A and B are shown apart, each in its own frame.
Chain A
Amino acid sequence: MKIIVCYKWTLDEADIRVDAATRAVLKERAKYRISPYDRNAVECGVRLAEQFGGEVAALSVGTAEVENSVKDVLSRGVTRLVWLCCQELEEADAAGTAGALAAAARKIGDYDLIVCGEGSSDNYSQQTGPRLAELLDIPVVTCASEISLDGSTLTAKRKLEEGFEIVETTLPALITVLPDINEPRIPGLKEILRASKKPAERFSAEDLGLDPETLKPLARRDSLLGTATDRRRIMLKGENAAEELLTILKQEGFC
């Protein structure tokens, strides 16, 4: 079977700083990494291929920065990588991302299953997977925490606010997976060495018949401000810290 796993190369928000005075967002020291939710998507696709045979193509779209993800993603068990490089995707929204992914997925062609993470660690709009499925006109199952395959029938357990929903659909289909679907492997030295021998194909928007202008965000970004936390930030240390806290909880009327 032919599986496509999508991933986004995102800034690690743990390294993003906020200027306390101006609330300016300082991204200079932040490094990129594969969006953690997408590591589960990659792992999901790789395990299915290990179980049922076939190939796994990793797929990403973004700016030239994505080049730095090539070795990392290829060491995670996938067969090959296809990615679209386009400067217009710099601040891409889910519409642009899904449009670019759809063109690239068509280029790969003949896929049985596409796996996406439930959302991205940066925007977390949870739109790209379901949008991509609609653009490709294939069924979608979102928020899967367990899946199984029987021939061309995919069964998934979705985790929803009100409980679990078991659904089935027929391949080709797209699923978005939750982090608890698996524990992504940590690439070993052998996988890292093998990664450099695996094929990585880079396309431009024009190669895929896309007008770069159509990939730009649909909304205009007016502002981006760090969130302010207005807390007392008092440390209670030493022997009697627990008792000091009790006194404060009493003063505040909690006990």
Chain B
Amino acid sequence: MAEFWVIADKPGAAGELLASAKGLARGETLVCLTCDQETAAEAARRGADRVVLFEGGARPESYVADWSEKARLERPAAILLGAGRRDKEIAARMAARLEAGLISDCVKLERGEGGFYSERYIYGGLCLAGETTARTPFMATMAAGKVQPLPAGGAAPVEKAAAARADQVRLVELQPHQSASNLMSAKVIVCVGRGLAQKEDLKLAEDLARALGGEVGCTRPVAEERHWLPEESYIGITGKKPAPDLYLTLGVSGQIQHLSGVRDSKFIVAVEKNETAPIAESADYTVVGDLYDVVPRLLAGLQA
């Protein structure tokens, strides 16, 4: 019987991918391939017909050759993965081996007579591209948070398989992040951009976030060029894509790559000196002014 695959190494991702696959499958068996025990258990509960738990590799990327070979032999109709950095590497390498197309960071996926119809953002989020793929297998990496996992309740069988092919890249060490970022679940986010003059002034943003019951995030340059906040704090199309109730920016000019990451926010407020900055086009309200003048006044008002 024809199969529809999802590949995941995290329980949350497996749940979302299986929900997407369930909606798209046309009688195909839903198979989850994973290398993580917890993910295997979650997939078995949430919609998979069959789970294959691979063992013996040092990291998820170690299974690319095995999974590609399995796909070549079993010819699944489609293979869906998440859109994390590991997922995207695995997907691209498998697609190359299978001579398949691959839609990255897919935000919408439908299936029709002509094949799979997908949508994804390009040009830093400025444009939405709709495409139809007729080739088999169809492959996509799916943007997270677009679907709800199916209710738990299934009890699919979990088979085990061993990695047969060696990884040409050797794992030396894993250094997990110490602090888990709360940005994705925050109701309020205060985001700082390059308009902030020095690292010490982050305190202004932190005080404002505290007063509003929120978290502090930043733009990519603040994390990657200035290193003022950790990598997991940056927001944008290539970073975190949160959807808070209130998104308040301080000194963010509003490049499209940043704004694309927060397009699902309910309410956007900007504090920005330059009234012609692009952020004003994408905000509900823009306070035109110096953040060093505006923020203390906001704090005074919030604490009054």
Contacts and interface: CB of A to CB of B under 8 A. Distances in A.
Contacts of A221: 129-131
Given A130-B92, A155-B172, A222-B131, A241 B301 contact: no
Interface residues of B, number: 83
A179 B263 CA distance: 23
A121 B84 CA distance: 18
Q: A interface, how many residues as a size bin? A: 35 or more
A53 interface: no
Given A160-B84, A235-B286, A235-B288, A226 B297 contact: no
Interface in B46-99: 59, 84-86, 88-89, 91-93, 95-97, 99
Interface stretch (B14-22, B27-35, B155-163, B173-181): B173-181
Interface stretch (B100-108, B145-153, B199-207): B100-108
Contacts of B297: 242-243
B283 interface: yes
B131 A166 contact: no
B301 A243 contact: yes
Contacts of B175: 163-166
Contacts of B117: 222
B280 interface: yes
Given A134-B97, A159-B231, A167 B171 contact: yes
B143 to A, nearest CB: 12
Contacts of A225: 127-128, 130
A255 B212 contact: yes
B2 interface: no
Given A166-B172, A232-B285, A121 B85 contact: no
B218 interface: no
A204 interface: no
Contacts of A152: none
A169 interface: yes
Main secondary structure of the interface of A (DSSP, over half): mixed
Interface string A216-255: 0111111111110101111111000111111011001011
B210 to A, nearest CB: 12
A14 B255 contact: yes
Interface in A131-162: 131-135, 138-143, 155, 158-162
A101 to B, nearest CB: 12
B101 A229 contact: no
A95 B287 contact: no
Nearest to A241: B287
B135 A218 contact: yes
Interface string A107-140: 0000000000001011111111111111100111
A98 interface: yes
Contacts of A1: none
A94 B101 CA distance: 8
B284 A233 contact: yes
A180 B172 contact: no
A137 B234 CA distance: 34
B267 interface: yes
Contact of B131 (A98, A159, A220): A220
A72 interface: no
Nearest to B129: A224
B284 A231 contact: yes
Contacts of B280: 233, 235
B176 A131 contact: no
Given A16-B123, A131-B95, A227-B126, A162 B285 contact: no
B37 interface: no
B141 to A, nearest CB: 9
A193 interface: no
B245 interface: yes
A192 interface: no
A186 to B, nearest CB: 15
A141 B125 contact: no
Contact of B129 (A223, A233, A244): A223
A166 B255 contact: no
A18 B121 CA distance: 14
Nearest to B123: A13
A86 interface: no
A11 interface: yes
Contact of A94 (B92, B122, B238, B282): B92
Q: Which 6 A-B pairs have the closest CB atoms?
A: A218-B101, A139-B168, A134-B96, A125-B104, A242-B297, A127-B92
Given A18-B127, A128-B92, A225-B127, 7 more contacts: A126-B85, A130-B92, A131-B95, A161-B232, A219-B132, A242-B287, A255-B211
14 contacts: A13-B124, A25-B127, A124-B122, A124-B238, A126-B104, A163-B176, A169-B169, A170-B168, A222-B117, A224-B129, A231-B282, A235-B288, A242-B294, A246-B302
